[in-house]
Amino acid sequence: MLLSRIQESTQNDDTDVIIAGPPEQFTSDKVWSADDRKPWLFLFIFGAWTASLIWFGPRLIDLVLSAETWTARFILGYFAFFTPVAWLYGLYNVGVVLFASIYRNFVTKPDPILSTTQPPVAMLYTTCNDFVRASAQSCLEVDYPNFTLYLLDDSSDPEYQAIVDAFAAENPEKVKVIRREHRTGFKAGNLNHALTNHVREPYFAVVDADEILPVGFLRQLMPYLQNDPECGFVQANHRCEEETSTQLQEDMRIGIDVHWKWYQPLRNKFGFVMFLGHGALLRRGCWKEVGGFDEIVSEDLAYAISIRERGYYGVFAEDVVCTEAFPETVRAFRVRHVKWTRGTCEFLHKWTMPLIRSRKIPLIEKLDILFPTANLPLTFFFFIFMLIAGLGMPFVLGQQQELTWVVAGQEMSVPVRLLPPELTSIFTPDFFAITVLTLFAPILCFILEHWKQPLRLWRFLSRSTALYAALSPLSAVCVAGYGLTGKARFLVTGDVKGHANTASKEGSAINRYLSETHPDSMATWSFEIVAGALFLAAAFVSFQPAFAGLALAFLMQPYLHGLGWNQKVLRFCTMIPFALIVGSVMLGSASLFGLQPVLFGFGFHF
């Protein structure tokens, strides 16, 4: 049935392209099939989580029941609810690492099937004031005889438009420029416009502005689609560019490599293969069948779900490796994070219920979609959790006590706020153990990948803590902004001049800010600085070193955004938060100081 639908779509596509060679012949051989995907990963995750609830649940319930006031019930109730959620995400990361190891070492990978024809392909290079010549040139250098490169230029900057036109003029036979009058629908609108009005090839690749394709990109990906009529797209692997232009890229690039290596390939066997928006080859017939890309910020994931509902699925091609650049500056990194966070909120708002109600998408694939996508919006509730754990529990429910230090034979007493004994009763060694597991689970893959290079590993984890773990205040305002306005914008990471990131002038200043929550805004910086200062003061008074580390990271974010990653003093300070967190964990009596509630902060964004 799928075969006949694809053949009909290919034959009745109003195409003006002549396909060289014999008609396409599909075989029954499949490199990967959705029928091969097993539920073991999520059975492990929820099995372990259920066991943790059975073991710790009575203690958490007793904790809530011990409250004598409504304020105490709210504080302890939120803590008792969110703590198991943190455990669930910790176990998810543990499960991914475990099953990624199984996938890499014990799952037999089928040999790729060779194609007998080379049908026309449209290479859709999307750009909006961020054209990168090396990336566009890599599209022209792929080893495939039958393709056209379309530059889908949404640039508003005349300088970038001129650069795009000049590049196209150098290769008039292979390159076409497509522009549209109205830039609606973000990247999805750009793709839909080109595919509706200009592109007629039966297959198309989507390429980001900073992406470098390997020479064998099309030749290696095409067989997946040609030999499996149920394969709707093939997602290529990615690594970070080895040649970096900034210190931030050099410090952070191994994070991209490790993430793609551990978190994506196992989805062929244990989850849902997502279209990740770039570096992929897609079947145009599927695009037509689902009515195009949903014109939202996260159009890639919405598209993958749409075609899965129609019986198609994606495949992750681990052996086809594209390269991409980490954002050059902290500002660009934060701009990208705002786009991802608000875009994910928009996706969940519009697609969660249709996904849950779907009868054609298996449960394990639904879970594999919802787990990583819910991660970013959950940071709002994590930020509330930090307020409760770091401020509410010690200052509302806690007691003041003198902490005495003996230094060189001299006693020194410091007043601190500690939790009362009835509340600290749950902080037993087993509770501390699952808390530490939750803390370090998101970085297990980095530890396993680079444990033989401890200094490099330490530097990366330290600096990534200052960059990623400090995003909580920014994430919180993004989620709150979307919740209040229902709007998301496709902010362009590489638009260094900010032309494509200019906010609308309509509405009041507050509404304009909430509609975008742009990291350039002074309101965003002020919120981060106030939150960091407040939490830092609370950390000292309540003696929570790990919390102090996170607070310092919050304080540094606006300064790193404005002054840059290369500032020597700031770059040195980025090593402090992780050191405080690790040092706190190493304190055997950490639970006496109410440390556990705030340990969940680190790594929540990996």
Identify the pLDDT of residue 547. Answer: 84
Q: What is the mean pLDDT of residues 278-296?
A: 96
Binned at pLDDT 50, 70 and 90, residue 368 comes out as: very high
Q: What is the mean pLDDT of residues 205-233?
A: 94
* Average confidence score pLDDT of the chain: 86
User: Which of 20-24, 235-239, 388-392 has the least mean pLDDT?
Assistant: 20-24
- What separation, in Å, do the N-terminal and C-terminal C-alpha atoms of the chain show? 41
Q: How far is CA 507 from CA 345, 351, 485, in A?
A: 22, 28, 12
Binned at pLDDT 50, 70 and 90, residue 392 comes out as: confident
User: Which of 208-212, 475-479, 512-516 has the least mean pLDDT?
Assistant: 512-516
Reported as a single tens digit per residue, the pLDDT across 145-184 is: 999 999 999 999 999 999 999 999 999 999 999 999 988 8
Q: What is the mean pLDDT of residues 417-433?
A: 75
Binned at pLDDT 50, 70 and 90, residue 462 comes out as: very high
Which string of DSSP letters, residue by residue, matches 496-538?
TT-STTPPP--S-HHHHHHHH--TTSHHHHHHHHHHHHHHHHH
pLDDT surpasses 50 at 14 = no
Copy the structure tokens of residue 225: 């689609």
Copy the structure tokens of residue 475: 């994430």
Numbers of helices and strands, H then E, in the chain: 24, 9
Copy the structure tokens of residue 414: 């410091």
Q: Could you give the domains of the chain?
A: 109-326 (3.90.550.10), 379-601 (no CATH)
Q: What is the mean pLDDT of residues 112-133?
A: 88
The answer to whether 297 and 342 have CB atoms below 8 angstroms apart is: yes
* Cα(77)–Cα(422) distance, integer angstroms: 15
Copy the structure tokens of residue 458: 């330490």
Reported as a single tens digit per residue, the pLDDT across 45-54 is: 999 999 999 9
Q: How far is CA 576 from CA 65, 458, 571, in A?
A: 38, 12, 10
Identify the pLDDT of residue 296. Answer: 95
* pTM for the whole structure: 0.88
Identify the pLDDT of residue 500. Answer: 52
The answer to whether 129 and 158 have CB atoms below 8 angstroms apart is: no
In a 13 Å sphere around the CA of 208, the CA atoms on its Cβ side amount to 20
Q: In the chain, what's the furthest Cα-to-Cα distance?
A: 90
Among 187-201, 391-405, 407-421, 511-525, top mean pLDDT goes to 187-201
Instruction: Identify which has the larger pLDDT, 119 or 589.
Output: 119
Reported as a single tens digit per residue, the pLDDT across 74-83 is: 999 999 999 9
Instruction: Identify which has the larger pLDDT, 408 or 559.
Output: 559
